[in-house]
Chain A
Amino acid sequence: MAKAILLGAALELVPILAMILAAHVARTRSIFRAGQLGFLATLAAVVPLYLATPADLGFLPERFARTPRALGAASAFLLCVLFWFNEAQVFFYVTRSITLRMLVEFAKSENGVLDVPHLRATYGLDSMIHGRFEALERNGWMRTEGGRRVLAPKARLAVACLRGWRRVLGLDFYLELE
């Protein structure tokens, strides 16, 4: 399984590269979509690649290279999926976390000093909420019809899952809206 771990981890560079290319070369806003496509490509490639490469990858000690092929290939596939899920979450920490974005605004400011009005001007509630409403529409989660928001089927499913899991885990929303 050592080969499966290494292969799974190495293949996760493909979605990262896909996202970087989408951002810097294609200059598209669908950066995460590019990562998803990269992930699907790795998913299609991981088992054939596992079966086609030598058991020791040319450098693994013999004791780490005796994994049965079917077990190794299945493990590589599973790890590929898990690495991607974790990678996707890191992507969203970096791009969507409010706290991290605030720290970025501090880091960008002169001498690292900001007051509330400046913080609001650079990263205020307006842009935070507008960005989310806009992203939900752009990504097909909802549309507006005659002043009403209509959730797409995937959004309704997500809401049902959100409610279900919050109930199962006994979680509350942090913010109590006024």
Chain B
Amino acid sequence: MKGPLLGVLVFAAMVSASAIGFRLQRSKKYYRILLAELPLGLITFFLVWRATPATLGFLPEAWLEPSPLVDAGAGALICVLLFHCFWDTVYLLHAGLSAQVLVAIDEDPTLDEARFLRSLGAEKDVDLILGWRIPNLIRGGHVEPVGTEFRLLPRGRLVGGFTRLLKRILTGEDGGG
């Protein structure tokens, strides 16, 4: 029980550290902080796990995992699973289009699709979504610009192909999103 409990506590500390880090960072590249936090959090977890008694001073005998390896492993696993949920939540809050639609409708119930599209620059050559995602794909080495076109690179082909396969398995279709 010590491992899972410490896993949850370290995760809570990581969330607090994120809130500070996000405020200190000037750009909106939150993933950099999250990426740095994961290994640091896991190192902290193992150090705290090693330094503390099995009962943490209050756990009853019946709640102790006899195998230290399993106890530490379960704690680290719980910490990673929680952190993955948190990471995804951060990006839902930051970049989730459906979330932004909901907030916009809450602010103005007369909002319709056409007006929301205009607010995203739909009538421009490059709208806000394309102007955001295409440079990301180029920076990430997934596509490269060739004249007025974009060519898929091996990394993009791997990710795109794998996503397409998973989508077919899970939904039976290529579309959606």
Contact = CB atoms under 8 A, between A and B. Distances in A.
A and B associate? yes
Interface of A: 1-2, 4-5, 16, 19-20, 23-24, 27, 31, 63-64, 66-68, 70-71, 75, 78-79, 82-83, 85-86, 89, 91-109, 111-116, 119-120, 123, 125-126, 128-133, 135-136, 141-142, 147-151, 155-156, 158-159, 162-163, 165-166, 168-175, 177-178
Interface of B: 1, 3-4, 15, 18-19, 22-23, 28, 30, 62-67, 69-71, 73-74, 77-78, 81-82, 84-85, 88-90, 93-95, 97-106, 109-113, 116-122, 125-130, 132-134, 136-137, 142-143, 146, 148-152, 156-157, 159-161, 163-164, 166-167, 169-174, 176-177
Contact of A169 (B18, B63, B121): B18
11 contacts: A1-B74, A23-B170, A23-B172, A75-B74, A103-B143, A105-B160, A109-B152, A112-B151, A116-B125, A116-B130, A125-B127
Main secondary structure of the interface of B (DSSP, over half): helix
B102 A82 contact: no
A151 B118 CA distance: 22
Main secondary structure of the interface of A (DSSP, over half): helix
The residue among A1, A31, A136 with the most chain B CB atoms within 10 A of its own CB is A1
B89 A102 contact: no
Nearest to B106: A159
B116 to A, nearest CB: 6
4 tightest Cβ-Cβ pairs between the two chains A and B: A112-B152, A103-B160, A107-B160, A101-B177
